[in-house]
A and B are shown apart, each in its own frame.
Chain A
Amino acid sequence: MKDSNEILLENEKAFKSLFEHATISILVTDENGDITLGNPNAEKLFGYTKEELTGKPIELLIPEPLKDIHRKHRHQYFKAPKARPMGLGKDLFARDKNGRTFPVEISLGYYKLGIKKMAVAFITDVSERKKAEAILRSSEETTRLIMNSALDAIVCIDTNGCITVWNPQAEKIFGYTESEIKGRRLSETIIPEKYRALHEAGLKRYITTQEQNVINKLIEITALHRNGREFPVELTIIPMRQKDNDFFCAFIRDITERREAELRQNEYAEDLKQKNIELEQFAYVASHDLQEPLRTVSGFVELLKRHYKDQADENVTKYINYITDASDRMRRLVQDLLDYSRLGRERILEPIDCNKVVQEVLSDLTMAIQESQAVIHLDQLPVISGFATEMKQLFQNLLSNSLKFRKPGEPPVITITAIPKEDHWQFKIADNGIGIDEKYWERIFIIFQRLHTKNEYDGTGIGLAHCKKITELHNGKIWVDSTPGEGSRFYFTVRKRSTDKWK
């Protein structure tokens, strides 16, 4: 049997050890609030040594603004001391030797030492926990902000198919408020009836076998609005796991407007295609059918000429010549119209060496060049991808124009250059010809528009219209810049393609 002294001694040893090794900070004060004891952990927490603490008022460890109120509470406490947590839900703060203020949690205990009432404070530094809580709160706030301002409807369901998350955009596109739909089955709300079984089966299959064909990709399906209207949506479903809970999140976008726009666009495109076909057909058929009566006129005029060659008087010859000229012109116009409508009909994109094309054209124009004593400056030209026949015709028309509209008595000087631009080639054909008044710079590209009478310069007025159509076939443009009396500069562009290279 141990005697009571022995037991006391053992107890004291045990308590002392508890006190010394407790991971919580322990401070003991007397009724006056003066510190009588502090454990090593308290020393560590507050940065004071035991000696520095002993005998000091406990307010040493309270931040300045809270000292007064603490004193008041302390007096209150000793009137009816009992063990309880301190602060009653309020945030408590302590202050260490360095002046750092930090949040704490404190439990109060109480014992009597003779007649002295002693208070024991168990103090935990909760800085880290508070910080973690703040981070969590801010991250929750961020999540809420994202959810609320997302342009997509965000809808989550649990593995039973019940809705757990429903953001404001979901309210907007489906017409259900968050409170009325949360907890309801997805398949009974926003999925059209005909797809419900499919959805349920898919969900079940995924949960049991992980087999799926809709997860993590963009899919387009039909959704059901609260008012019964079905509408197209685009969505991505992402499976998620939080604390061992599986759930699925869908990001959903109402694509009604886009669908309608697509539909309209397709209609326009189809319409345009049809119109173009009709127009081509029209020009083709019209010019074809116009040739027929023309041949008759020409035929009979020829007959008249032959039969009455000797008897015809001056007037008859003149009339017959008028008819011949007019029907010849008509035939050329009709032929031009026919060519124009056929232009680029069967086109195959191929690499075209513009140097070669221009050489060919120049060789075709040898006669005109020699007659006019023209000087041609030819720059290095690129290899482009285009339509061979059309490109040749383009150069042919522009070059023969430069030769044709030369200043009388002055040999033509023609310069052909090309410069690479970001996504196209820009060609320039400059001459020293008669030039074009600015007011005609656009009209000259319209079919059959001419600036000169037939007596001045021959032609039907198709050449530049052809050029315009050809550049447009090459996704380019054509324009002119000119000084009347000094010369013209015709520019045209051809879109670059991956096969192009500077040669």
Chain B
Amino acid sequence: MCILFIDDDEPTNFLNKLLVEEMGCAHHVQVVTSGMEALEYLTGSGSFSNGQSHPRPDLIFLDINMPGMDGWEFLQHYQKLPPNQKANIVMVMLTTSLNPDDEKAAQQNIEISGFENKPLQPEVIKKILTRFFPEVC
């Protein structure tokens, strides 16, 4: 089980990583601070092109409001990735956004499996795992 967090806020990433590690439900937790870095991670390019193999994430938590490439723009690029770089990935939007339009847009996006508000709670992670990864629990 590999989880990827995409969020520009470092303390948020720290807390999320800590939470998942404490729950012990993932063998690898990757944190990136921008959509661009996430794409590099998924495609093994840029700062992740050092030849080492990086575990492909099973679950991605994506922040909407990020500087430069935001969550939505990331999804546009993500959709264009070759299938072997995105197959079977569960994408959950994780946001502080109180904007109902965002939630509606998330529901309409086929790449997005869930829409959750920050801060991330253990119950939410459990719920997602039970739904999408019953074999892990």
Tell me, yes or no, whether A binds B.
Answer: yes
Show the binding face of A for B, using Cβ within 8 Å: 322, 325-326, 439-440, 449-455, 461
Give Cα distance in the complex from A439 to B68, angstroms.
10
B14 within 8 A of partner (CB): yes
Which of A439, A440, A452, A453: most chain B CB closer than 10 A?
A453
Q: Please name 5 pairs of A and B residues whose Cβ atoms are closer than 8 Å in the assembled complex, sorted by A.
A: A450-B67, A451-B67, A452-B67, A453-B34, A461-B67
Looking at chain B's contact residues, the main secondary structure is loop
Judge whether A322 and B11 touch: CB under 8 Å.
Answer: yes
Judge whether A325 and B67 touch: CB under 8 Å.
Answer: no
Give Cα distance in the complex from A319 to B80, angstroms.
39
Proximity bits, B64-77, A CB within 8 Å = 1, else 0: 00011000010000
B40 to chain A, nearest CB (A): 14
Judge whether A451 and B68 touch: CB under 8 Å.
Answer: yes
Judge whether B11 and A325 touch: CB under 8 Å.
Answer: yes
Judge whether B33 and A453 touch: CB under 8 Å.
Answer: yes
Judge whether A440 and B14 touch: CB under 8 Å.
Answer: no
A residues near B116, Cβ cutoff 8 Å:
none
Among B8, B11, B73, the residue within 8 A (CB) of A453 is: B8
Give Cα distance in the complex from A449 to B68, angstroms.
8
User: Which residue of chain A has the shortest Cβ distance to B69 in the bound complex?
Assistant: A451
B136 to chain A, nearest CB (A): 28
Judge whether B14 and A454 touch: CB under 8 Å.
Answer: no
User: Which residue of chain A has the shortest Cβ distance to B15 in the bound complex?
Assistant: A322
Judge whether A452 and B68 touch: CB under 8 Å.
Answer: yes
Task: Count A-B pairs with CB separation below 8 Å.
Answer: 24
**Shortest 8 CB-CB distances between A and B: which pairs?**
A450-B67, A322-B11, A451-B68, A453-B8, A452-B67, A451-B67, A453-B33, A453-B67
Give Cα distance in the complex from A322 to B14, angstroms.
10
A residues near B11, Cβ cutoff 8 Å:
322, 325-326
Judge whether B33 and A450 touch: CB under 8 Å.
Answer: no
**Given A322-B11, A325-B11, A454-B10; 6 other pairs, CB 8 A cutoff:** A450-B67, A452-B67, A452-B68, A453-B8, A454-B8, A455-B10
Cβ < 8 Å to A, chain B residues 1-29: 8, 10-11, 14
Give Cα distance in the complex from A450 to B14, angstroms.
22
B residues near A439, Cβ cutoff 8 Å:
73
Give Cα distance in the complex from A452 to B37, angstroms.
12
A residues near B34, Cβ cutoff 8 Å:
453
User: Which residue of chain A has the shortest Cβ distance to B34 in the bound complex?
Assistant: A453
A residues near B33, Cβ cutoff 8 Å:
453, 455
Give Cα distance in the complex from A452 to B73, angstroms.
14
Proximity bits, B43-82, A CB within 8 Å = 1, else 0: 0000000000000000000000001100001000000000
B51 to chain A, nearest CB (A): 25
Give Cα distance in the complex from A451 to B10, angstroms.
16
B residues near A452, Cβ cutoff 8 Å:
67-68
A residues near B10, Cβ cutoff 8 Å:
322, 454-455
Give Cα distance in the complex from A449 to B66, angstroms.
8
Give Cα distance in the complex from A499 to B95, angstroms.
51
Give Cα distance in the complex from A449 to B34, angstroms.
14
Which of B11, B34, B67, B73: most chain A CB closer than 10 A?
B67
A residues near B68, Cβ cutoff 8 Å:
440, 450-453
B residues near A449, Cβ cutoff 8 Å:
67
B residues near A451, Cβ cutoff 8 Å:
67-68
B35 to chain A, nearest CB (A): 11
User: Which residue of chain B has the shortest Cβ distance to A448 in the bound complex?
Assistant: B65
A residues near B8, Cβ cutoff 8 Å:
453-454
B residues near A440, Cβ cutoff 8 Å:
68
